[in-house]
Structure 1
Amino acid sequence: MLWCPEELGGLELLKATYITHAFAPHSHEGFAIGVIERGVEAFRHRGQMQYAPAGRVVLVNPGEVHTGHGPEEGGWTYRMLYPEPRLLEEAAIELTGDSWGVPFFPVPVVDDPEAAALIRALHASLEQPTSALERQSRLLSALVLLVARHAAPHPGMRPMGTEHEAVRRARDFLEAHPGENITLEQLSRHAGLSVFHLVRVFRRKLGLPPHAYQIELRVRRARELLRQGLPPGHVAATLGFSDQSHLTREFKRRVGLTPSRYAASTRSFKTGRLSAP
């Protein structure tokens, strides 16, 4: 079940059970925060395999590449929310009276029963016709507690060297042209590196090779277009997928839902009905 309460600024929430599904390496523009309700979720994150059993809280920062699968028979059930970075930044300001910038969660799996209970209560309230005031209050309470206990100021960035600047140029070019059939030679010329050097440093910096990052960008854009009501076939053609089945395959590997089910979920929310995946 996926839904996006309007009074929470379009915040996406997901309640799902996955038995055999495995998420491809992907990242989120915002945070991915949730609680495991049953089973165990395993995911590769910052080069290490993480295991989140029932009761644990999962905290993934924006832009961090990760996977996801069930290492045990029966899969896993979880409740997730995907807040924009500004919401966590506001929570940090509420705590300290000063801006950290966007907070950073250094540990991706934490044992915090109170935080897990707050996330469950937030989700439960959002499944019922509760007031906007209650929903917003529960969300802010959960985020403030998570920041207070588990976040830190974002680690200082080292001065950007030549390689990092080249990766930024390549990334910006891909983000500006998500539907174009860009070649590696084009990208390397734009970045100012050889094709071999670019592929190596791009993956080291962003966690994905250029072609996988391009698909990630296309899936993110597909979510926006589907929420606007565009049909999956049109979205696929607009964003450079070979056909609708290609969009469906890549979308489900990263989002956990097909494009049609994702679109139906957002439509059902607008009409007051929740849709299960």
Structure 2
Amino acid sequence: MTKATSRNDAHYWRSALIPGGDMVTARFTDHVYSPHWHDAYTVSVIEQGAERYDYRGTRFVADAGSLPIINPGEIHTGSSAGDAGWQCRTFYLPVDFVQTVASETGLSRHAIPWFNTDIIKDADLVRRALLAHRTLEASSDLLASEYALLDAVSTLLTRHARLRPPSRPMTRDRVRVERMKTRMLDELTAPLDLSELASTVGLSKFHAARIFTREVGMAPHAWRNQVRLSRARDALRAGMSATEVAATSGFTDQSHFNRHFKKASGVSPGRWSDNR
């Protein structure tokens, strides 16, 4: 495993069997994940210790032998639940990959699988998921790796997947928030202050910031930085250097980019790229 520090070790890697996906083998002692989201399903197996995280308005603690799941696009945090930290193996599974497996398993061909917030306690599933993760990381037998992966993901889906709950009605404040998001996306790399953003929806700075934070779960600047990070990962996957990505993603400078990337990923962008 490549070491980030003596207290926080993380190795990111990929497999051709999961196009666009990521995996990580990690041990964290004092790393604290800032509120962030992933476009993929985050499926973790806690091997040792315990992780504390906030998700959908609730604080959870996932201990050894459990399998917490974060649905795509859902804001969450992460930190140690004790002095010993936590060790985990995590899959970041793209939505289209999970939908394909769901279809092949006989589940709905169109619905997006969804998982309850409850931490999964399923010893047999944990065993299958660990086998798949370890076999993929070793990458010595393609046939065995693919079988283990499909076995783990199909078992997860058939036992624990649900239909995605219907979206909340578009209230007046939600419409305003979507307009503010559009403004930030249109000017993702340009300087933008709160007065300009608030003017988009005809509100005061205080009111605009308050409804955005209440509806989204993070402040406007934090949300925009997370979108920047998501696009930065795509650029890093495509082979762009961390220096180039920092310069084109809208971050103030390289150190600003590195700091935000590490808070959301556990490693620097350079190390994240080197480990691929």
Quick one: structure 1 residues 32 and 97, their matched pair in 2 at CA, closer, same or farther if it must change by over 3 Å?
A: closer
1:31 aligned onto 2:31? no
For residue 98 of structure 1, report the CA deviation from its aligned partner: 2.9
Q: Distance in 2 between matches of 1:154 and 1:6?
A: 28
From 130, 137, 141, the counterpart of 2:140? 130
Q: How many residue pairs are counted as aligned between the two chains?
A: 266
Alignment match, 1:22: 32
Alignment match, 1:66: 76
For residue 17 of structure 1, report the CA deviation from its aligned partner: 0.4
Aligned CA RMSD, in angstroms, stands at 1.8
1:187 aligned onto 2:197? yes
Moved more, 242-251 or 158-167: 158-167
Alignment match, 2:4: none
1:173 aligned onto 2:196? no
Give the letter aligned to residue 180 of structure 2: A
Quick one: structure 1 residues 67 and 158, their matched pair in 2 at CA, closer, same or farther if it must change by over 3 Å?
A: closer
Quick one: structure 1 residues 193 and 151, their matched pair in 2 at CA, closer, same or farther if it must change by over 3 Å?
A: farther
1:118 aligned onto 2:128? yes
1:89 aligned onto 2:89? no
Moved more, 22-31 or 191-200: 191-200
The answer for unaligned runs of 5 or more in structure 2 is 1-10
Q: Distance in 2 between matches of 1:116 and 1:213?
A: 33
1:98 aligned onto 2:111? no
Give the letter aligned to residue 211 of structure 1: H
Per the normalisation by structure 2, the TM-score is: 0.89
The answer for unaligned runs of 5 or more in structure 1 is 267-277
SS at match of 1:8: coil
Alignment match, 1:43: 53
1:265 aligned onto 2:275? yes
Alignment match, 1:272: none
From 193, 198, 215, the counterpart of 2:208? 198
Q: Distance in 2 between matches of 1:75 and 1:86?
A: 33
Alignment match, 2:65: 55
Which digits, 9 at most, give the CA deviation of each residue in 1:83-108, with x for residues without a partner? 11122223333344533521111124
Moved more, 235-244 or 116-125: 235-244
1:232 aligned onto 2:242? yes
Preserved contact between residue 72 and residue 95 of structure 2 (Cα < 8 Å): yes
Alignment match, 2:160: 150
Q: Which has the higher contact order (CA 8 A, sep 6+)?
A: 1
SS at match of 1:6: coil
Alignment match, 1:269: none
Q: Distance in 2 between matches of 1:165 and 1:94?
A: 37
Q: Distance in 2 between matches of 1:45 and 1:98?
A: 26
Preserved contact between residue 26 and residue 88 of structure 2 (Cα < 8 Å): yes
Q: Distance in 1 between matches of 2:74 and 2:60?
A: 14
Per the normalisation by structure 1, the TM-score is: 0.89
Residue identity over aligned pairs, in percent, reads 33
